A and B are shown apart, each in its own frame.
Chain A
Amino acid sequence: MTGHVVRNQIRSGFYLDSVALMRLSREVEDSPGVIAASMMIGTPSNKSLLESAGLLSVEGGKAGPNDLIIAIRGETAEAADGALGLAGEALDRPRQSSGDDGGWIPRALDSAIAMLPAANMAIISVPGAFAAREARRAMRRGLNVMMFSDNVPVDQECALKAQAAELGLLMMGPDCGSAIIGGAPLGFANAVPRGPVGIVAASGTGLQEVSTLIGRHGGGISHAIGVGGRDLSQAVGGATTLAAIDALDEDPGTDRIVLISKPPSVEIAQRIFARVATSSKHFTICFIGMDASELPGNATFAPTLRAAAEDALGGVSLGTGFDADIPRSHNRVMGLFAGGTLCAEAQAIFLAAGIEVASNAPVPGASPLGHGLAHHLLDLGADEYTLGRPHPMIDPTVRHRSIREALVDPGVAVLLIDMVLGYGAHDDPAGDIAGLLAGHDGPRPVILASVCGVEADPQIYPEQVATLEKAGIWVAPSNAHAAERAVSMIAPSDA
């Protein structure tokens, strides 16, 4: 980083939520002469993130977990110092208040419950070090929990799930970003019609893709329960998955149940399947990357999210007739995904077709980056791409740099992207990409997209699709279709 100036400033005992900090960081980053700007709480993990981004100075290294680090890399000392000043002003700006009661927002959980005495759910998205405590307190007050926070120690997750079982409460998460309970989309979720299909998912975008595919094809969701990315690990043992299966099994509104996860260990899988076998309802098992194994008689294996939706809809075939007229090519496929499980599903489809693929988040059988493999399928929502920035589902501009690079890379024949709609997501991701393309001159790769959403979503599914098509983007009826189409375009010699 020669010629660059890194400046850090510490604010002791300062707290602001991470999304607000990210927004302010981007604002500062937009000022002239600033190469990178990040504001983060000085936890050890954040400091190492800053360090690896070349944003940590000796000064910033002294910050503690209750301090805010303002980190700037500027082209000149003046620019960096100016940005520090801007950041300070941005932090000191009065925070906007919203809502009823004259804009008053309570600090204490008990005050919130006093304002909403029938509250039955706490959504928790505080930093991981504090999340378990908030969940414990919420459950003690009778609230079910959906925990978006991650970086929660696994022993705390186990303790919370034991507490939930004792109290008859649902503990979704940690790292649960999506759920639909009784028709209410929570976190990042879609306005899917109600219907007989229950979902239990360890993955947010997996839940969104399956529920929207069902919703777009005449089906509906009774409840979609997120369990958190680690629920089916050996340590946690599927505690919430089993509780969710119990709850859906008893639920008169649920006829069929879809389980979505990365492949669990054999032992945990057996435990889940044993529970499934005791149910009279039909199960769809979608453990992406797992070989179809021996399932109970009332269960079907689905290798992809699309296959899960098809089985849940009673064995229909979705999106037949999609045929983008694209020539074969010897060049590479570049996948730039906002949804982690959509990236995983695409990898599984490549691998099933016998095509090697590399990813920053490889599924079993895929390679990590840096192996010289042609086809890259990247999860741009992963930590290494979102340092101090919002998730690409919230802010599509964080995907811009990667997309621009792919557009001008003559070695890239196909660009594979996803658009995730729904509550919590950006209000016009298709318009954002269309705008980016409008500013691009010269040849570009074929772009294949899928849109995860439904008509009733705030972004309106058909309008997003129309925007993409108008911009010359092929829109597949599902993420799996898009990945399959990309595979079919790869010339046989590359396969």
Chain B
Amino acid sequence: MSGINLLQSKIEVVNIGLPLFAEALAVQDIPVVQVDWTPPAGGDERLIELLDLLSE
């Protein structure tokens, strides 16, 4: 058993990064939400480490 049930599901996408991938899905009527991604904490490694330690 793979445990993966994605292949039996209808695809709905969160697109993190290049908008062209979301645009391609949108024209096919595949549900997609674009994330306006920027580097977390301005890309500061120390702060990202703290965010990871303090999240979830």
Contacts and interface: CB of A to CB of B under 8 A. Distances in A.
Do chains A and B make direct contact within the complex (CB under 8 angstroms)?
Answer: yes
Interface of A: 13, 15, 17-19, 65-66, 98-99, 105-109, 111-113, 115-116, 118-127, 130, 133-134, 137-138, 140, 143-144, 148-149, 165, 168-170, 181-182, 184-187, 191, 222-223, 243, 246-251, 253, 394, 423-424, 458
A464 to B, nearest CB: 17
23 contacts: A13-B42, A65-B43, A107-B37, A116-B33, A118-B12, A119-B12, A119-B14, A120-B12, A121-B11, A121-B14, A122-B14, A122-B15, A123-B17, A125-B15, A133-B52, A134-B16, A168-B5, A169-B4, A169-B6, A186-B11, A191-B28, A247-B2, A423-B28
A170 B4 contact: yes
A125 B38 CA distance: 12
Contacts of B16: 109, 122-126, 134, 138
A48 B12 CA distance: 38
Contacts, number: 167
A106 B21 CA distance: 16
Contact of A144 (B6, B26, B30): B6
Interface string B18-29: 111111111110
Contacts of B48: 133
Contacts of A137: 56
A182 B25 CA distance: 13
Nearest to B13: A121
A19 B22 CA distance: 13
Nearest to A19: B18
Q: Find the residue from A18, A109, A184, A246 having the highest chain B CB count within 10 A.
A: A184
Contacts of A111: 35
Given A66-B42, A116-B31, A185-B24, A149 B36 contact: no
A66 B56 contact: no
A184 B28 contact: yes
A253 B7 CA distance: 9
Nearest to A144: B6
B35 to A, nearest CB: 5
B50 interface: no
Contacts of B26: 99
B46 interface: no
A133 B48 CA distance: 9
A138 B15 CA distance: 11
Nearest to B41: A66
Contacts of A113: 14, 33
A312 to B, nearest CB: 18
Contacts of A116: 12-14, 31-33
B33 A115 contact: yes
